Amino acid sequence: MKEADGLIADIGGTHARFALTDPGQRVRHEAVLRCADFAGPLEAATAYLDKVRPATRPSRGAFAVASPVTGDVVDMTNHPWTFSVEQVRRALGLRHLDVVNDFMAVALGVPLLGEDERVAVGGGHAVAGAPIAVLGPGTGLGVSGLVPSAGGWSALATEGGHATMPACDPQEEEVIRRLRASFGHVSAERVLSGPGLSNLYMALAGIRGRTPTTAPAPDEVSRRALDRTCPVSVEALDRFFSMLGTFAGNLALTLGARGGVYVAGGIVPDMIEAFSASPFRRRFEDKGRFKPYLAPIPVYVVTHPYPAFLGLTGLVAASDE
């Protein structure tokens, strides 16, 4: 095997994706591991390296994690892993290890996407040099943005997925009222994520007067919705896309994202056709006097299988500068 230069990882609430980078910044030997199979990122990274067995162990690393990164100790939001960045660095024998929020890494990768690695959903043309919004539902709801800086782009490390979810009609008010009874604060992530899709199903079933004893898994809700075998699932997915449109429009206004809005994550790229035909775009633009501002903004679904790797590769390369 050729020399390994860097170890990169995109660690979410369900899966940890690993790869190696070489001195030419090429990504090799991608692998997906289940977080539940390991005690922490050190054990998962060790298992990955033992499997691929690079001739030279990587000396630098960059990990993206689905949680805030505010110091040496990282406590993941949607998974029980807690770890010290410095301890992981030493145990893996890395000279340098960057750990950043996962959607900060996705955002850093957006300028590197090829035209065939994104699908446009409405809007016009991006304004060159204008801020870019990035979001994506998966196990949680990731949010970031790119703002122009002297060297090109700066990515924002945010926890925007935990902002309060607004309601736009009486039924959404009732959905949120029901979720508030269970969770107290109803963040966007409580509806715009895999578990959020199940939450929407349960709330809508309750409104219809037939709440099941257990919530169906998110993939079951989406499967029933796409093959149209369950009216509640159809309605849940429709609401999911609608509320995602509202949230994405809010984010675009907040950032002034005339450079475009990019939707990544583990849910939307797997159902682009349904997403494109959904109320998402109408709700994205439904901001009263500011509809003319939002209407030209293009929305892109990211189809690259590992968008965070693009940003992480740049962090590995920059660690020697």
Architecture category of domain 114-303 in CATH: 3-Layer(aba) Sandwich (3.40)
Residues 6+ apart with CB under 8 A from 63: 8, 9, 10, 11, 41, 88, 97, 98, 99, 100, 312
Q: How much is the pLDDT for 1?
A: 41
Q: How much is the pLDDT for 152?
A: 87
21-39 b/e (C-beta count within 10 Å ≥ 16 → b): bbeeeebebeeebebeebe
Express each pLDDT in 211-228 by its tens digit.
Answer: 888 999 999 999 999 999
Q: How much is the pLDDT for 321?
A: 58
Calculate what percentage of the chain has a pLDDT beyond 70: 98
| Position 111 pLDDT exceeds 90 | yes
Mean per-residue pLDDT, 54-71: 92
d(CA 196, CA 240): 8
Tokens of 312: 């992480």
Q: Provide the CATH number for the domain formed by 6-104+306-318 in this structure.
A: 3.30.420.40
Q: How confident is residue 110, by pLDDT bands cut at 50, 70 and 90? A: very high
Tokens of 46: 């060790």
Q: How much is the pLDDT for 238?
A: 98
Q: How much is the pLDDT for 319?
A: 74
| Position 193 pLDDT exceeds 70 | yes
Beta bridge partners of 263: 135, 301
pTM assigned to the model: 0.94
Whole-Å CA distances, 111 to 24, 114, 146, 155, 183: 18, 9, 9, 11, 37
Mean per-residue pLDDT, 135-150: 94
Express each pLDDT in 273-295 by its tens digit.
Answer: 999 999 999 999 999 999 999 99
One-letter amino acid of 86: E
Tokens of 143: 């949010």
From the CB of residue 293, how many other CB atoms can be counted at a distance below 10 Å? 15
Express each pLDDT in 244-270 by its tens digit.
Answer: 999 999 999 999 999 999 999 999 999
d(CA 238, CA 273): 13
Residues 6+ apart with CB under 8 A from 311: 64, 104, 105, 106, 107, 108, 109, 112, 155
Q: How much is the pLDDT for 210?
A: 86
Q: How much is the pLDDT for 211?
A: 81
Calculate what percentage of the chain has a pLDDT beyond 90: 88
**For residue 153, is it left (φ>0), alpha (ψ between -120 and 50) or beta?**
beta
User: What integer best gives the mean pLDDT of the chain?
Assistant: 94
> Do residues 89 and 96 make contact, with C-beta atoms less than 8 angstroms apart?
yes
Mean per-residue pLDDT, 166-188: 97
Q: How much is the pLDDT for 3?
A: 53
Q: How much is the pLDDT for 54?
A: 86
Express each pLDDT in 2-61 by its tens digit.
Answer: 456 899 999 988 899 999 998 778 899 999 999 999 999 999 999 999 999 888 889 999
Helix segments in the chain, DSSP class H: 41-52, 85-92, 102-109, 170-183, 194-207, 218-226, 231-255, 272-277, 280-285, 291-294, 307-318
Q: Where are the domains of the chain?
A: 6-104+306-318, 114-303
Q: Give me the sign of the Cα torsion angle 18, 86, 310, 302.
A: positive
